[in-house]
Chain A
Amino acid sequence: MARGRIIFFLVLFLFVTVDVRGDDRALKKISFVPQWVPQAQFAGYYLANERGIYKKYGIDATIIPGGPDNPSLDLLKNGKADFATLWLSTGIQMRAKGVKLINIAQMMQRSALMLIAKKSSGIKKPRDMNGKKVGLWGPIFQIQPKAFFKRYNLKVKEIRQSYSVNLFLRDGVDVTSAMWYNEYHTILNSGLNPDELTTFFFHEHGLNFPEDGIYTLEGTFQKDPDLCKAFVNASIEGWRYAFAHPEEALGIVMKNLKKEHIPATLVHQKWMLARMKDLMLPQYARCPTGRLLAEDYNRVAEGLLDNGLIKEIPDYTSFYWKCVPNVEK
């Protein structure tokens, strides 16, 4: 049965590719919204669009810049976008709430969320955090830290923090939440050296919550599964292209950020793109890009359940609809 499915998908994939290349006029219009501003975190999608990779797959894509004014979840829910990126935990939470969205590709395989402390505050090991002030973001970002505190039996003073790292830099908190590809680099570029910091990567502490994935509504998939598969595969190709041509990718990222009037630093975007490569193509990759492993799904879902963010774990098979072949090309 499994083998039959593989062959089916392979044939389907070939068919889609050949079909797309055959006729330019048959482009299907779609819209896509990443969950944040057009930074290097989403370089692959922008590159796939600007370098004609979506067109090659028969797609005429429009990318809506995400961000605080355009929450990707809302746009996906109300049908203003056909595809969106979301965190896996957000996706599961929404599915549990009854939103009929599905994961068609888990792009990031590793969690970038981390805790950072200054060595000067005396924090070198997890247990040093006892009694210290730890800055946490919103509920979705609290699952891993809370599991971490539980695992190491820590009693910390949780402080709700904003996305600015200044509270941490001014010693308002001893430990801060950070994304490896973003805030960590911001801290380095505020004058702290890596050797002055203690870092706690959740994926190194058995709390790997894969993050960005591509989502669509069940209905969209049912209407045109080939389109979804084509979008996923084109997006993966866009990412490969971005990693192979970082200068070109950064050029497009900077251009788009400027278009949105978002202050941007090239070195920061460069750092972010390099980290994306680490997160999407981990050296110890257990599966092809785009796959969501059941064990990862269950770990995240159980974390959500433990924190009361969901009441029951949605069915994995109805949540993840595989759009990539089992074997890497």
Chain B
Amino acid sequence: MLKNKGIAFKLSFLILMSSTLIFIFIFWYNYRFSHQVIVKNIEENARNLAQSTVNRLDIVPRTVEKVPQNLSYSLEAVSYTGGELIDVLRSLVENNPEIYGAAIAFEPYAYDRNALCFAPYFYKCKRKTEFTYLGDESCRYFYADWYQIPKELNHPVWTEPYYDEGRGNILMSTYSVPFYRTVLGKRKLMGVVTADISLSWLQANVASIKIAQTGYGFLISKNGTFVTHPDAGLIMNETIFSVAEARGDKRLREVGRKMISGKSGFVPFKSLRTGKKCWMVYAPFSSSGWSLAVLFPQDELMADVVRLNRTVIYLGLIGFLFLLVVIVLIARSITRPLSALANATGDIAAGNLDIELPPIKSLDEVGKLSHSFGDMKSSLKQYIEELTETTAAKERIESELKIAHDIQMGMLPKIFPAFPNRKEFEIYATIEPAKDVGGDLYDFFFLDEDHLCFTVGDVSGKGVPASLFMAITQTLVKTKATKGLISSTVLSRVNEDLSLDNPSLMFVTLFLGILNIRTGDLEYCNGGHNPPYIIRANGELEPVETTNGMALGVVEDFHYKSKKVLLQKGDSLFLYSDGVTEAMNENDELFTEERLEKELKLLKDKPIQELINSITEKLRAFSKGAPQSDDITMMRLKFYGEQGR
């Protein structure tokens, strides 16, 4: 994806991506950590607040509990008369400001055998203490919770909160203590002593709990009934479980069960009032088993952290933008000269070496690159100029060599048939130089009417020096070979001249033959050259006997000897240079005399020109494109005698 984008883009993209990731990670870690710390603090504070509130509020019921308890002890110990009971009860209500009302309720017929109910009750009403008897005909107290539960359980209890209908309609809870008397050895329940407390002070206290803007406290009874709640519709009407059912909230139900079972805790909770996410801390009252809950709205308590986090995000964004600008500028400063260089390189590649490189002042890598580029450009320019000159020089030399070649070739007899009006013999020769100018030579000319002189030679080395040496040799042979001389004399004289002034120590192998075209007598001398073959008319192939001559130009006064051989009608002579037998193929194998002899036997009956051309073909096929290492020269001379063919 990034492959096709520019450096500036890649650089900005990768750096910004990385820094964004780093920022996000740091932000996330910071957020989590600060969140945890704050939640931990809130939990600690919440638990302390709930516990201290409960402890403070629990003092009242704990104090109130003692009053009916003490009275029940004295009722068990002392027999009071009706009047005394009522007096005790009155002073109890009047002297305990926390107590709203108190009663002593007896079991059926327990106080008076003729009276089913006896339950004197004092209660406060408009700052006065009122008196009544509980338990008229329509209302038997025996089945009331405040009476029946302590009776059945045989221990004191706080009742569920209830409205005291008819007597001021206040919300209250009653603490009931059963009292007993031993009759005929049996401990028998006599009745219960009760003390009522109004819950309005509790409601007011809990209502005063305010956490942040919307946090609040609420109180539920042992049954889960709301005793206080900011939503008045819930009070004494709904339980925490009915709310859970209405909301379909199973977790709330579980929290409720923990609350009424006397546990304390700190749990996430959704406010019943605002629907906001809150933490809820709850703690039980040790007296009544009721549970106080306080809600801590999360968003309000976390507001500072949220604000901090928001600021951090904004700062991060600003930093991101700043980084973006800086990176883009840096990337641009790098890539602008680079792309200018790239454009210039394009021009240079197209051949324009005179283009001015963009000026770069900086000394950084780009500056160095630009500087090197300038150097490269001028070196290139210089090199190309030199190359142009060299090429021109080479071309000149080549053209001169061509001319030299043309001159050399011009020195060799090239027109065949060479002697169309001579029927006594036929002659054909070719030369194929390895380089443009070669060191091989051949020649044939008449010394007189009957004597044909012919030579084949090979100069040591190749190229221009060899060709020059060859030209000298050719010329010397032509001038030294005069009528009446034998071949050895000619070679001796040529050798003398060549050896006289030969500073470069070059030499030449040379075969020179003189044929009497009437008789077929061949007189010859071989100066270190490959011995030619005689192809007899009957097809036999025989090498020309050697004369043990040395290559010319080495030893000045070498004494050459000549030999004679008689050619019959139809015999022919095949001369060649070592370029034939030493032709190499790709595997560095030589053509060899064996191969040459085999070919000559096969081709012996062919016309002279065709034989040489065929061998040239064979050599080409053998070397198969391998570069020609030496000049290749071949000559064939066929003798017919006076009668001709």
Contacts and interface: CB of A to CB of B under 8 A. Distances in A.
A172 interface: yes
Contact of A167 (B148, B241, B242, B246): B148
Interface in A181-198: 188-191, 193
A264 B145 contact: no
Given A164-B145, A166-B160, A191 B241 contact: yes
B242 A268 contact: yes
Contacts of A267: 242, 245-246
Given A188-B241, A263-B236, 9 more contacts: A162-B143, A166-B149, A166-B160, A170-B222, A189-B245, A190-B224, A193-B257, A265-B242, A268-B242
B123 to A, nearest CB: 21
Contacts of B237: 263-265
B260 A191 contact: yes
A266 interface: yes
A223 to B, nearest CB: 35
Interface in B357-386: none
A61 to B, nearest CB: 30
A171 B151 CA distance: 12
Contacts of B223: 166, 169, 190-191
Nearest to A170: B149
Contact of B152 (A162, A172, A190): A172
B148 A172 contact: yes
B245 A162 contact: no
Interface string A140-172: 000000000000000000011110101101111
A169 B160 CA distance: 11
Nearest to B236: A263
Interface residues of B, number: 29
A173 B152 contact: yes
B321 to A, nearest CB: 55
Given A189-B224, A190-B223, A267-B245, A162 B239 contact: no
B238 interface: yes
B579 interface: no
A133 B149 CA distance: 13
A159 B144 contact: no
B238 A167 contact: no
Nearest to B143: A162
B153 A266 contact: no
B165 to A, nearest CB: 11
A126 to B, nearest CB: 22
Contacts of A171: 153
A190 B241 contact: yes
Contacts of B225: 190
B256 interface: yes
23 contacts: A133-B152, A160-B142, A161-B148, A162-B143, A162-B144, A162-B148, A164-B145, A164-B160, A166-B149, A170-B153, A172-B153, A188-B241, A189-B224, A190-B224, A190-B225, A190-B260, A191-B223, A191-B240, A193-B257, A264-B237, A265-B237, A265-B238, A267-B246
A223 B68 CA distance: 62
A189 to B, nearest CB: 4
B577 interface: no
Contacts of A191: 223-224, 239-241, 253, 256-257, 260
A171 B149 CA distance: 8
Given A133-B152, A167-B148, A191-B260, A160 B241 contact: no
Contact of B246 (A160, A164, A266): A266
Contacts of A160: 142-143
Nearest to A187: B223
Interface string A171-182: 111000000000
By Cβ-Cβ distance, the 4 closest A-B pairs, closest first, are A172-B152, A162-B143, A190-B223, A189-B241
A12 B40 CA distance: 77
A265 to B, nearest CB: 5
Nearest to B246: A267
Contact of B239 (A170, A172, A189): A189
Interface string A310-329: 00000000000000000000
Given A133-B152, A162-B145, A191-B260, A170 B157 contact: yes
Contacts of A264: 237
Interface of A: 133, 159-162, 164, 166-167, 169-173, 188-191, 193, 263-268
B143 A161 contact: yes
A171 B153 CA distance: 7
Nearest to A137: B143
A171 B237 CA distance: 23
A38 to B, nearest CB: 16
Contacts of B256: 191
A133 B154 CA distance: 14
B159 interface: yes
A189 B257 CA distance: 10
Contacts of B148: 161-162, 167, 172
A188 B240 CA distance: 11
A116 to B, nearest CB: 15
A283 to B, nearest CB: 24
A120 B223 CA distance: 17
Interface in B531-571: none
Nearest to B159: A166
A164 B160 CA distance: 10
Nearest to A271: B245
Interface in B258-298: 260
Most chain B C-beta atoms within 10 Å of own C-beta, residue among A159, A171, A267: A267
Contacts of A164: 145, 160
Interface in B500-541: none
Nearest to B247: A267
Contacts of A170: 149, 153, 157, 222
Contacts of B246: 266-267
Nearest to A159: B152
Interface string B228-254: 000000001111111001100000010
Contacts of B241: 188-191
Interface string B131-154: 000000000001111001101110
A136 to B, nearest CB: 11
A191 B262 CA distance: 13
Nearest to B221: A190
Nearest to B233: A263
Most chain A C-beta atoms within 10 Å of own C-beta, residue among B153, B224, B239, B240: B239
Contacts of A162: 143-145, 148
B145 to A, nearest CB: 5
A170 B149 CA distance: 7
A172 B257 contact: no
Contacts of A172: 148-149, 151-153
Contacts of B157: 170
A270 B242 CA distance: 11
A57 B557 CA distance: 166
Contacts of A190: 223-225, 239, 241, 260
B150 to A, nearest CB: 9
Most chain B C-beta atoms within 10 Å of own C-beta, residue among A161, A189, A193, A268: A189
A171 B246 CA distance: 27
Contacts of B151: 172
A267 B249 CA distance: 13
Nearest to B257: A191
A169 B224 CA distance: 12
Contacts of A173: 152
Interface in B192-239: 222-225, 236-239
Contacts of A188: 241
B105 to A, nearest CB: 15
Interface in B109-167: 142-145, 148-149, 151-153, 157, 159-160
A160 B245 CA distance: 31
Nearest to B239: A189
